[in-house]
Structure 1
Amino acid sequence: MTAIPTIDTARLILRAPGPQDFPAMRAFYASDRSRFVGGPKDAEGAWRQLATEIGHWALCGYGRWIVEDKATGTVCGIVGLWNPEGWPEPEIGWDLFDGFEGRGYATEAAEAARAHAYETLGWRTVISLVDPANRASARVAERLCARPDGEFTHAVFGTVIVYRHPVPEVCL
């Protein structure tokens, strides 16, 4: 399995997901905040999602990190690189847990994930898929300089907007 790197930003630590994160994942997936990412889910569904997040690293060599607030050590979300079967291409995704929205954490963590994709993995492009009703997520994509680049229809999530992130030379 790929060693999952830890990334420090000004206010956040992006680290490997693990079993200790199940309570936070369970709470997120039990809430309405998860409606744009396949929730709400019961505890079993949340456990399966956590296992999927961990397994993505093993299968792809990259994935999503648990995001911790440096000041408190509190888990505040999961952000990173995602490309499961059925996805149109690799994505930067962000899910903030209840009480952590509106602080710029999604943008800060997604910038770090994008830098990892471009600088470490050598990617030349990446997208973010955003539900048209999720204006908060669209604003994060726009703050990251990503621009709408068509639509994608998924069997489970329906039609979403494809936001294309700029090439590394433009966004870094």
Structure 2
Amino acid sequence: MTFLVPNKVETKRLILRQFTESDWEDLHHYYSSDAATKFTVGRPFTEGETWRTMCSMIGHWQIRGYGPYAIEEKQSGRVLGTAGFWFPNDWPSPEIKWALAPDYWGKGFASEAARAVQKTGQDFLPHISLISFINADNHASIQLAKAIGACFEEEVPFRGAQWHIYRHPRKSVEREGTSHSHS
């Protein structure tokens, strides 16, 4: 399979990469948390549900040619959560998603990962106008979307709640021709 985006992206503190089987245990710190899952999947997951969800993220790469990355902290080697491209069949549009276990909140990891994904989308998926699809009560994610330049577009009903669509900026035409070259 040829992917539409790199399968690995590095930042100062993070490696964004495809998930491997052993990542599910670290990822379960996110999916087993009441606080972390409140506005996303709506409840903590069992270990089996976390494993199956991780497998769906791996499969997303195979079907769409892009997908969610595992967020690995370079210093510890731990997977902190996920960030990347996400477009399930019931979503309104392809999105940039992020989700971190609570132990890693407030340390800039989510914004660092989301900015890297946003730039990757601008560079490799310029034909897709990416959104972030956020529960209207998820104020932390709304603040992050705004901080990285996404603009509120509309509120829509989804799965029994109100959700916001935030549209991410696209690369400007003048930057497109000069931002990177393929040799």
Q: TM-score, normalised by structure 1?
A: 0.91
For residues 2 and 100 of structure 1, the distance between their equivalents in structure 2, rounded to whole angstroms, comes to 32
Quote the offset at 1:169 in angstroms. Answer: 2.3
The residue correspondences of 1:36-115 to structure 2 (distance < 5 A) are 36-38=39-41, 39-115=43-119
For the aligned residue pairs, the C-alpha RMSD in angstroms reads 2.0
SS in 1 for 2:83: strand
- Give the conservation status (yes or no) of the 8 Å contact 1:14–1:68: yes
Percentage identity across aligned positions? 35
- Give the conservation status (yes or no) of the 8 Å contact 2:27–2:79: no
Quote the offset at 1:157 in angstroms. Answer: 6.0
Quote the offset at 1:26 in angstroms. Answer: 2.2
Counterpart in 2 of 1:164?
Answer: 167
The residue correspondences of 1:132-143 to structure 2 (distance < 5 A) are 132-143=136-147
For residues 96 and 2 of structure 1, the distance between their equivalents in structure 2, rounded to whole angstroms, comes to 28
* Cα 1:18/1:2, change in 2 over 3 Å: farther
The one-letter amino acid of 1:87's match is W
- State which of 20, 23, 26 in structure 1 corresponds to 2:22: 20
For residues 68 and 106 of structure 1, the distance between their equivalents in structure 2, rounded to whole angstroms, comes to 11
Residues matched between the structures, number: 171
For residues 113 and 2 of structure 1, the distance between their equivalents in structure 2, rounded to whole angstroms, comes to 18
Say yes or no: does 1:131 pair with 2:132: no
Superposed CA offset, 1:24-55 (max 9, x none): 22232111111222131112211111111100
For residues 121 and 167 of structure 1, the distance between their equivalents in structure 2, rounded to whole angstroms, comes to 10
- Give the conservation status (yes or no) of the 8 Å contact 2:70–2:79: yes
Counterpart in 1 of 2:156?
Answer: 152
Quote the offset at 1:124 in angstroms. Answer: 4.6
Superposed CA offset, 1:46-89 (max 9, x none): 11111111000000000010011112212111000000101111
Structure possessing the higher radius of gyration over alpha carbons:
2
For structure 2, the 5+ residue unaligned runs are: none
For residues 59 and 81 of structure 1, the distance between their equivalents in structure 2, rounded to whole angstroms, comes to 12
The one-letter amino acid of 1:117's match is G
For residues 44 and 11 of structure 1, the distance between their equivalents in structure 2, rounded to whole angstroms, comes to 29
The one-letter amino acid of 2:113's match is A
The one-letter amino acid of 2:17's match is R
SS in 2 for 1:159: strand
The one-letter amino acid of 1:140's match is L
Q: TM-score, normalised by structure 2?
A: 0.86
